[in-house]
Structure 1
Amino acid sequence: MKQTEQNLTEGNIYKSLISFSIPFIIANLMQALYGTADLLIVGLFTDTVGLSSVAIGTQVMQIVNGLITGLTMGGTILVGQYYGARKNKDTSETIGTMLTLGIFISLLITGLMFISTKHLLNILQTPSEAYADATRYVLIASSGIIFIFGYNSISAILRGLGDSKRPVYFIAIACVFNIVLDLILVGAFNMRAAGAALATIVSQGISMILAIIYLSRRKFIFEFKRKNFIVNKDKMLKLLKLGGPLSLQEVLLWMSFLVIAAIANSLGVSESAAVGIVAKFEVFSMLPPMAMSYALASLTAQNIGANQPERASKALNISILISLVCSLFFFVWAQLHPQSIMGIFKADKDVVKAGTDYLKTFSIDFMLVAIKFNLNGFLNGSGRTTFAMINGILSSILVRVPMAFLLAITFLKGLIGLGLAAPIASVVSIVVSTIYIRTNKWKEKVI
């Protein structure tokens, strides 16, 4: 671990954030390619119905991914604060507890997904043409949830330890396998959405297994031995206290996205496909601010653990500035050449028109998330995950969803109104987070 750990409690903040975030950007880019490959290859070898089914299936699985991301981010925070405080025994116990707990949670979520898939697709008002393919996609993808958890947990642990480089290797492996398997299963064997889902879970499983083998052969702080896979009650409660609110926030956030998708689906299959395509492009636009927010969360966690809150506060301002500069490119692109974005996915003219309308207003959010994500990363890193959850619920459930209904169904009608709901919700989130940060409650430790 010595050659890849990074002490984020000392040195130049610009250098620390940038050097730590670059691997994040690469990792997130690969994850975006990972998900986008399904849509691109399905679009290449099938039709609009195939695009719609994978877009809807992916939206459903984002609920699971959000739940897992929240729990593993709790691990990043706790590992980071223990590591910043130089408490190696506590760090190791936290890792063992997180991985063991993750196995049980994964099995529970898998069972719930098998029971609820058809209900979720009905709630989404999935177009009848895409229903069968979307069902196959979700059921197959759900069978690999334990791989999703394992592969995200290992990356989260490494980032808490200040290592943002090795997660890139594991994601790269998954990305390559996913693309190759997509081409074989969707292209050669014509398995449509089912092939895309199978490619995803197999590639994630391979990546997780190779990551465990690799770390086991290195001087990793945690030994992957059966005796170490135990649940420490104290660490479990702290993980749930930190990760629970984040998971709930992510789930509710993605559920609000599903409501948005349901509105789009009710407008027609072209609108459904358009919103799904824009969601894939959105992932790329959010890469820089997302990477900076994750780097900021790790830096904040270590510095709170080391009693250096002012260094964390300074890092917040720097991270927002860098993110805004990067996000400007995507905003300008979406405003000036939205048709080129839709054309990347080989969409037909109706989908292109619908997506162009959506991007006119939705792309405003590309700039706002540069601020919102970093405020969230800062608060999460300081352990204020409950507040972040409440703020997330406020902006997504109580602001974005009602505004989406009002603007898309009543006033502006259509995807232009649907897109405007996102930036309105982001403004509310930014204001609330800023007010809370000024109270200085975030400076208190959670360990």
Structure 2
Amino acid sequence: MQQEKQDLTTGSLGKKILFFSIPLMLSNLLQVLFNMADVAVVGRFAGATALGSVGSTTTFVTIFTDFLIGLSGGINVLTALHFGARNKKGVADTVHTALLLSACGGMILLLAGSGFAKGILQLLNTKPELLDGAVLYIRVYFLGMPALAVYNFGNAVFSAVGETKRPLYYLSLAGVVNVALNLFFVIICKMDVAGVATASVISQYISAFLIVRALFKSNEAYGLCLHSLRISKDKAKDILRIGVPAGIQNAIFQIANLFIQVGVNSFSATMVAGNSAAANADAVVYGVMMAFYTACGSFMGQNLGARKKDRVRRSYLVSLGYSFGVGIILGFLLANFGETFLGLFTSEAAVVAAGMYRLTMMGRFYGFSAFMDCTIAASRALGKSVVPTIVVIMGSCVFRIIWVRTVFAYFRTIPSLYLLYIFSWGITGCAEIVYFIKVYKKQVAFEA
């Protein structure tokens, strides 16, 4: 397969950002579908206890994987910046440093997750009858953390240089293998929880191998070379400066969501089940919208490096418009045709009705989250990560906890709980936009 890259500093931004984002959307949606397949296989063929064990690890796993996604954001921004500036040495130093940092980060998460699995799951109030299976799942699944970190690294590099199709091909192949192995390990080998986790680990190493192999075969500046593998202190500092705050933000989001789940759990079992089924829509919608946030970072990074300040601003605005639009459209479809979607997860009419409470309210608001998330991506593309992270932690994490303890505690209705999303997105989005404008004017608009 011929190596591809795109110059994101020329041509129509509307057209390029759209076609750049489509493979990213498909990648994110495939990941969501494969994760759903994991749950479906273990639930259908291994029983309710195995399903509960895997399901009870969702928050735990998401905290760690979201941290890696945040770290890869720093890699994407820095690679795009040097690539746009035609700084071949900067690109090479960034890529080789990033690979080593990602591998080390994956190993640290492997050790931390495996070592503290039982204690953390107990803190998350995992039911005693599910605890042993959940711990086993985590300890096997986390063997794939180094591979997941390396794949995210490769995906970030390819996205930074304008190539989004190649990671999609690799993810598709690994996903098919994952589903096939799930069926083999669970049905044939009777491995239930361990089987699903083992299938995930193998598929993660396949995708990591393929993407790293492609980078080693590349003759471009972002290609890998064994004798160049070393950590540049400056590049490592820049990657961590942008990536670590983003990773921490993602992890804290999951912790804040635990408080929301506590609020949901105060209602009937039917409402809890309906909320759980409807929450699957979040991954679908956010996955599509996230493609435009990645595009925003890549396009702004390359154009910032090329010193094309007008395209820096327009890259943000076009990405924001696309992400807002697709959020509104998908939200409208879910709000009006949500029963069909919920039917994928339950056949009980009462649970579907309960799930529609969430889809109806969230469907109206999904698009507005773009003002927060796309602006955060834009600020990070300008090299600013700490302040946007503090703002989003205060506006969307701390605020949500306060809302649950005050507004929801007073009204005790499901609408009063779900309304916290639009209010937190609105407050945080406004603050993020004010900060971005300030940074843009200082760093780009008035640049000599």
TM-score, structure 2 as length reference? 0.90
* Residue equivalent to 2:61: 61
The corresponding residue for 2:423 is 424
Letter paired with 1:126: T
Tell whether the 8 Å contact from 1:83 to 1:302 is kept in structure 2 after alignment.
Answer: yes
Range moving further from structure 2, 243-252 or 210-219: 210-219
Is the Cα contact below 8 Å between 1:331 and 1:363 reproduced in 2? yes
Instruction: Give 1:346 shift.
Output: 3.8
Counterpart-to-counterpart distance in 2, 1:352 and 1:101: 45
Q: Which piece of structure 1 moves more, 338-347 or 249-258?
A: 338-347
2:41: which partner in 1? 41
> 1:439 matched to which residue of 2?
438
Query: Does the 8 A contact of 2:29 with 2:288 survive in 1?
Result: no
Alpha-carbon distance in structure 1 between the residues aligned to 2:132 and 2:261: 18
Q: Deviations over 1:314-339 (max 9, x none)?
A: 22222222223322332223323433
Matched residues in 2 for 1:256 and 1:353: separation? 26
Structure 1 residue 407: deviation in Å? 5.0
Aligned residues of 1:320 and 1:370 also touching (Cα < 8 A): yes
Gaps of 5+ in 1: none
Pairwise mapping of residues 325-340 of structure 1 onto structure 2 (< 5 A)?
Answer: 325-340=325-340
Distance 1:298 1:405 in 2: 39
C-alpha RMSD of matched pairs (Å): 2.6
> Could you tell me how far 1:115 is from its partner in structure 2?
2.6
Of 258-267 and 373-382, deviating more is: 258-267
Residue 87 of structure 1: CA displacement?
0.7
Q: Is the 8 A contact 1:342 1:355 kept in 2?
A: yes
In structure 2, do the counterparts of structure 1 residues 110 and 351 end up closer, same or farther at CA, with 3 Å as the change threshold? farther
Is 1:174 the counterpart of 2:174? The answer is yes
The code of the aligned residue for 1:422 comes to Y
Distance 1:321 1:59, change over 3 A: same
Alignment of 1:257-276 (within 5 A): 257-264=257-264, 274-276=274-276
Question: Cα–Cα, structure 1 residues 272 and 100, in superposed 2: closer, same or farther, change >3 Å?
Answer: farther
Contact preservation (8 Å) 1:6, 1:161: yes
Q: Look up the equivalent residue of 1:102 and give its one-letter code.
A: S
Alignment of 1:260-409 (within 5 A): 260-264=260-264, 274-346=274-346, 348=348, 351-409=351-409
Matched with 2:111 is 111
How far, CA to CA, are the matches of 1:180 and 1:417 in structure 2? 43
Which amino acid in the other structure matches residue 239 of structure 1?
A: I
**Does the CA-based 8 Å contact 1:147-1:204 persist in structure 2?**
yes
TM-score by length of 1: 0.90
Residues 342, 355 of structure 2: 8 Å contact kept: yes
What are the within-5 Å matches in structure 2 for residues 113-132 of structure 1?
A: 113-132=113-132
1:255 is aligned to: 255
* 1:389 to partner: Cα distance: 0.7
Paired with 1:443 and 1:342, the residues of 2 have a C-alpha distance of 48
Native 8 Å contact 1:56 1:126 kept in 2: yes
AA of the residue aligned to 1:444: Q
Match of 1:82 in 2: 82
Distance 1:359 1:187, change over 3 A: farther
144-153 or 328-337, which deviates more? 328-337
Amino acid of the structure 1 residue aligned with 2:397: I
Decide whether aligned partners of structure 1 residues 338 and 409 sit closer, same or farther in structure 2, where only a CA change above 3 A counts: farther
For the Cα contact (< 8 Å) 1:365–1:426, is it kept in 2? no
The CA deviation string for residues 167-188 of structure 1, in whole angstroms up to 9 with x for no partner, is: 1112112211111122222344
1:155 corresponds to 2:193:
no
Distance 2:123 2:273 in 1: 17
Aligned residues of 1:55 and 1:273 also touching (Cα < 8 A): no
Residue in 2 aligned with 1:191? Answer: 191
Equivalent residue number for residue 24 of structure 1: 24
Cα distance in structure 2, aligned partners of 1:54 and 1:177: 19
- Which one-letter code corresponds to 1:233 in the other structure? K
Letter of the 1:90 counterpart: G
Are 2:222 and 1:207 equivalent residues in the alignment?
no
Q: Whole-Å Cα distance in 1 between the matches of residues 317 and 407 of structure 2?
A: 33
Structure 2 counterpart SS, 1:363: helix
Q: Is the 8 A contact 2:81 2:304 kept in 1?
A: yes
Distance 2:415 2:144 in 1: 36
Q: Distance in 2 between matches of 1:120 and 1:268?
A: 26
1:33-86, CA deviations, whole angstroms, 9 ceiling, x for partnerless residues?
222221233343355554443333122111111111111110110111111111
Distance 1:192 1:425, change over 3 A: farther
Tell me how far 1:98 sits from its aligned partner: 0.9
Aligned partner of 2:331: which letter? F
Offset of residue 96 of structure 1: 0.9
Give the secondary-structure state (helix, strand or coil) at the position aligned to 2:57. helix
Structure-2 separation of matches of 1:39 and 1:416: 28
Deviations 1:1-30 (A, max 9, x none): 985111111111111211211111121111
C-alpha change, 1:10 and 1:196, in structure 2 (3 Å) is same
Encode CA deviations 1:283-305: one digit per residue, 9 max, x unaligned. 11123321111111100111111
In 1, Cα distance between equivalents of 2:198 and 2:279:
21
Query: Which amino acid is the alignment partner of residue 148 of structure 2?
Result: I
Instruction: Call closer, same or farther: CA 1:31–1:75 in 2, change over 3 Å.
Output: same
Letter of the 2:313 counterpart: S
- TM-aligned CA distance change 1:9 to 1:400, over 3 Å: same
